[in-house]
Structure 1
Amino acid sequence: MTSLATENFAAEVRRLRANPATGRIDLSGRNFAGQRLEKLDLGACNLSGCDFSDTTIIDCDFSGSNLAGSLFQRARVGGSKFRSVEMSGADLEGADFGGADFTDANLSGADLRKTNLKDAILEGAKLGGADFLLTIMPDGSVYEPQTHGGTLVRSAGAGRHLKILLTMPTWTDDLGGFSKIGRIRNPQIPLGLLYLATIAENHGHHVTFIDCDVEGVTIDELTRRTVASGFDLVGLSATSPIFHKAVTAADRIKAALGAKVKIIVGGDHVNIFGTNVFFDCFDFLAIGEAEETWPEFLEAFASGATDYSGIDGIAWRRDGQVVRNKPRRIFPDLDKLPLPAVHLSRMKQYRMSFALWKNRNIGKYVSIMMSRGCPFKCSFCSESSDVKYDGEVAKMRYRSAENIADEMEAHYRNYGIKHFFFMDSNITLKKKHTVDLCNEIIKRKLPITFEGWTRANLINDEMMALLRRAGLVRLSCGVESGDPEVLKIIKKDVPQEATREFFRLCEKHGVEAMCSAMLGSPGETKASVRRTIQFLDSIPELLFTNFSIANPYPGTEMLKWAREGKYGLRLRYDELSKYTRYDDSPIEVNDLTAKDLVRYQALGLIKIHLRPRRFIAAIRMLGFAPLVPIFIKMVLKVVRGGREMLWAFLSTSRPGKEYVAPAPAKLS
């Protein structure tokens, strides 16, 4: 018997179909969880991002519809048609699709774990990147690795189809005690790998993407899955703090598979050090921006090439000798980048948490890029020091406003994604570009929200109002220090009044205001740290800040200064595997020892977030239960600091009162 809910919904669909002006019926984002849908014609509808969890679906026709990114967990589907549907990235885990017709459907990147596909029709279906773990296949067998493969629809040229794994080891370990929160709250999508995934798929290859942080995949698990899946090529991306993990992963994969699998590695660390990090566990290095290098390399690799000398931007071995080819030019036209293969990611696990209650319903999101490069010269940032790939400066390049809006609209239409995180360090650097993008979003009436970073002195009331109208819900800036002298040294000379005005504008326009700050910068002293804590605490509109210990990363001016002992810096160690921004410090500076830095960091985080509004914001963003042990740990650090920490706490509570240490430390 058809339920009343089904009858009402069927009537709505019939009404929409009867209106020729309606066009493609948009039902995206609907919640059908737990309902019963029977004998409904839902063909040629936009149902992206809908929730069909625990739903009973009988004899419905979804043919030609867009179901990308929808949830079908534990759904029971009997005799329904899904011909030519778009279901890339859909979550079908544990659902019963026995006997369903998926002819010519696109299930690329879908989660089909523990799904019943017995007697289902998969003729012509695209299954690249789908996860079939313990899936009951149409012939009744239970899927085991290497038993079944996806149907590839594009040509790989003269070569063979490759099974490719793209991954990046966990990066949240350098968050110290905050690492667990970093994995489950506001995880970051590795956008660069997903560009490469799209390029590989467009050349007919089967790509699997594993986000080790989001999926909680250890190096042992990554090795096991690589061995079980029989990949031809593994692509690893790694920044400097996690490069040792990429080496460990490659070592273990090679130990298990030997020459059966080839490994290529790229990322910031490789860009900086080049062949100095070409270890035996790697077969190739991709140096510089890889979007043009990648398709050329794949074509050669798939055809069984032994000579890679004609491919710019890679390093390889000829008869055991390292060969570094000509440098690859920077990617000139960012509008020519493909859409990132977000369908290969576990989209449901990328969710943002917010400080303000009004934003609580913002769910899954994707990262997006506006530009590449940075014109500033901050001494602590490798991107800001004229990043060079073999001498070529990676200058500022922008995607057009239309191109960015196209990507936003595609993600919304295809996957029901309504929130975007701009990975750029500054979304207001080029005023006209920012204005054009906002106007493009408004013109298209896209029901989306977004967030990003800026520099406090590069935004005004008019621009903030336009950004808010276009969908801005959160904006962050790098305050870094509350001491003007430290800001000059680190080349982040933004006036304090500009910073205060930034937070006032955010509050005025209803935008969540956050910032980053550091301690342990070149020239830092105990007094300057206290001034930073006092300054941040004095900004009433500030909702949340991360207060990290400055690390001298490779490629930065700060590392050079630390090795030279400049500005009071003393390098304790430069083993990147030990770098952490919260539990220890690789440097000491002036009268601040490593223990002092850890204690002042704890003091600052407690002091700044003790105000009721910020305390509530922290709970909403990070969760109460995860915060309790972290808070206790920070309190203990402060207590161990004795009288000095107590007096520092009290002095930062009294604006205008400079703290005087009872026994000043001798500066080195």
Structure 2
Amino acid sequence: MNRDVMLIEPASSSAMREMFKEKYPYPPVGLLHIAAFLKLHGYTVHVVDMMIEDHSRQDFRRRLATLSRSPLAVGISLYTECFYEGIEVAALVRELFPETCIVAGGPHATFRPDEVLSYDCIDFVIRHEGESAMVELLEHLQHPQGLPVERIQSLAYRDVNGAVRSNPTRPFVTNLDLLPFPSYESVPALQESYKESFMFVSSPGCPGDCVFCASRAMSGKRYRFHSAEWVFSLAYEYFRRYGFNRMVFLDDTFTVHRKRAEAFCHYLLTAWPGSEPPRWACKSRVDRVSDEICALMSRAGCLSIHIGVESADQGVLDAIAKHIRLEQTFEAIRVARRHGLRVDCSFIIGHHADTRATIEKTILFAQAIRDHGIGTAAIGISTPFPGTRLFEDAEKLGITITTRNWRKYDLVTPVYDTQRFTKNDLRRALYFLEHESRRGKQMVGLTGQRHEQFRAKLDRLIAEIEADENAQVKLSKGGVQ
């Protein structure tokens, strides 16, 4: 009986693939979870990560040709920015293995199943979580009468008349600890990178509901998480295999469940098999950062914490439903720095509520973070991905989406119009931050304003951080004496 399955993560372009290989060698964690679940049910799974591996069309064709037989099914993860490349991969698989079932999953497939199924090379779409639905679909392929497609929750397909049908959504897994560890060994090309940095997700989704993010729509409204014991066991097991130097939590908000975060840190401090805990990094929200948790994380080896600042204007933060105050952002940065944590800040310009003036303030904030050595500052352009309220409620939010060319949904290309600013305003703002500000220019140049009041706030923040750090240095020297 054929129980071979291939899971594929497409790459959106060769340029992006090279960037990811160099800076962000993230494993395809979603596919690795599905691979582990399929292996648990007796399937042989091959994972192809085109974001990391070098695969031209001909290379991929040759790889498929080396298979001893056609797979029972091929699953392809579709993100919006790599949608077309995923369809090209599916077409090639169909050409070489016309009898193989081709399944699409991932965010784009979840929110636009009709579009995905308009391509003949895609047979099924699995929406939201894929583990159980994929197992049931594979059982259907082998025993179609015993398990008809109509009974498989979260499955979308074409009926006998060619109309797209979407079955009811499967309830989300509530006890995540019942799932097996992700099958990291399924991507041979990443084995060496695991020895340096081990990356994983301990809690899918996010309790926030920002208009630009589809995390909650994709993973459910309820915040779900693995226990501290499960997470520590995962890290412990793979440290024994690879001996990595660094861990990275890919969760959107690691510190949301404070007791779990504290328990994990205590396990690192008391039960880690190495001489000292590995260095690690995580993400969180500014309203979930405190003196106590930062102090404990720092002692347990944490080097940096990523926070989504998004905007330097309170009105914009309110409009995007961030549910934080700008003062909380300043305080979170102060607290993290006080305990020696690098602060990795992400910003977005071009929010539907932005103006030229608020965009300038956000650019100035990012510049201050970067130029004063407080942390890193990454900035992107607001992009209405399918599944976000920015996409679904575009007209209500006052924007006009100007293209459905998904390749342009890359976080650096403006794809909608508004009366508040132009696409060229966004391009000029990014150019200022990346080039002109590094040459000492002080004015962003969209409005002619200097934003003296906001600059004064930034100056106070920087002075307070420097004072804290000087005090820590003096305390340290006093302790030595």
1:189 match: 27
- Does residue 330 of structure 2 align to residue 487 of structure 1? no
Equivalent residue runs for 1:146-225 within 5 Å:
160-171=1-12, 180-225=18-63
TM-score (norm 2): 0.84
Q: How much does 1:517 deviate? A: 0.4
Cα 1:310–1:222, aligned 2, differ >3 Å: closer, same or farther?
Answer: same
Equivalent residue runs for 1:196-345 within 5 Å:
196-229=34-67, 230-232=69-71, 233-259=73-99, 261-278=100-117, 279-302=119-142, 307-317=148-158, 319=160, 321=162, 322-345=164-187
Q: How much does 1:347 deviate? A: 2.5
* Higher radius of gyration, 1 or 2: 1
Q: Sequence identity, in percent?
A: 24
Cα 1:532–1:365, aligned 2, differ >3 Å: closer, same or farther?
Answer: same
TM-score (norm 1): 0.61
Cα 1:303–1:506, aligned 2, differ >3 Å: closer, same or farther?
Answer: same
Identify the match of residue 356 of structure 2 among 518, 523, 526: 526
Letter in 2 for 1:441: L
1:557 match: 389
Post-superposition CA distance 1:396-440 (Å, at most 9, x none): 112111111111101111222342221211111121221122122
Q: How much does 1:481 deviate? A: 0.9
State the distance in 2 between where 1:580 and 1:214 align: 18
Letter in 1 for 2:410: T
1:429 match: 256
Letter in 2 for 1:299: E
State the distance in 1 between where 2:137 and 2:236 align: 31
1:605 match: 434
How many residue pairs were aligned? 446
- Contact 1:347/1:365 (<8 A) preserved: no
1:400 match: 227
Q: How much does 1:320 deviate? A: 5.8
Cα 1:647–1:597, aligned 2, differ >3 Å: closer, same or farther?
Answer: closer
Post-superposition CA distance 1:436-494 (Å, at most 9, x none): 22122222135323211111121111110111122211211011111111111111242
Cα 1:326–1:534, aligned 2, differ >3 Å: closer, same or farther?
Answer: closer
User: Which moves more between the two structures, 265-274 or 212-221?
Assistant: 212-221
Q: How much does 1:171 deviate? A: 4.1
- Contact 2:80/2:409 (<8 A) preserved: no
User: Which moves more between the two structures, 496-505 or 544-553?
Assistant: 496-505
Q: How much does 1:541 deviate? A: 4.7
Cα 1:529–1:179, aligned 2, differ >3 Å: closer, same or farther?
Answer: farther
Q: Secondary structure at the match of 2:308?
A: strand
- Does residue 254 of structure 2 align to residue 411 of structure 1? no
Identify the match of residue 190 of structure 2 among 340, 347, 356: 347
Post-superposition CA distance 1:68-112 (Å, at most 9, x none): xxxxxxxxxxxxxxxxxxxxxxxxxxxxxxxxxxxxxxxxxxxxx
Equivalent residue runs for 1:488-503 within 5 Å:
488-503=318-333
Letter in 2 for 1:453: K
State the distance in 2 between where 1:644 and 1:411 align: 49
2:297 match: 467
Cα root mean square deviation, aligned: 3.0
Higher helix share: 2
- Contact 1:227/1:253 (<8 A) preserved: no
Letter in 2 for 1:339: F
State the distance in 2 between where 1:207 and 1:494 align: 43
1:542 match: 374
Q: How much does 1:323 deviate? A: 4.8
Q: Secondary structure at the match of 2:215?
A: coil
Letter in 1 for 2:190: M
Structure 2 gap ranges (5+): 458-481
Q: Secondary structure at the match of 1:517?
A: strand
State the distance in 2 between where 1:657 and 1:371 align: 38
- Contact 1:507/1:541 (<8 A) preserved: no
State the distance in 2 between where 1:649 and 1:337 align: 55
Greater relative CO, 1 or 2 (CA 8 Å, sep 6+): 2
1:370 match: 202
Identify the match of residue 424 of structure 2 among 579, 595, 599: 595
Identify the match of residue 307 of structure 2 among 465, 471, 477: 477
Q: How much does 1:228 deviate? A: 3.6
Q: Secondary structure at the match of 2:322?
A: coil
Q: How much does 1:603 deviate? A: 1.0
Cα 1:652–1:182, aligned 2, differ >3 Å: closer, same or farther?
Answer: farther
State the distance in 2 between where 1:275 and 1:570 align: 22
- Contact 2:153/2:168 (<8 A) preserved: yes
Q: Secondary structure at the match of 2:236?
A: helix
User: Which moves more between the two structures, 539-548 or 315-324?
Assistant: 315-324
- Contact 1:525/1:591 (<8 A) preserved: yes
Q: Secondary structure at the match of 1:255?
A: helix
Identify the match of residue 443 of structure 1 among 270, 278, 286: 270
2:460 match: none
1:452 match: 282
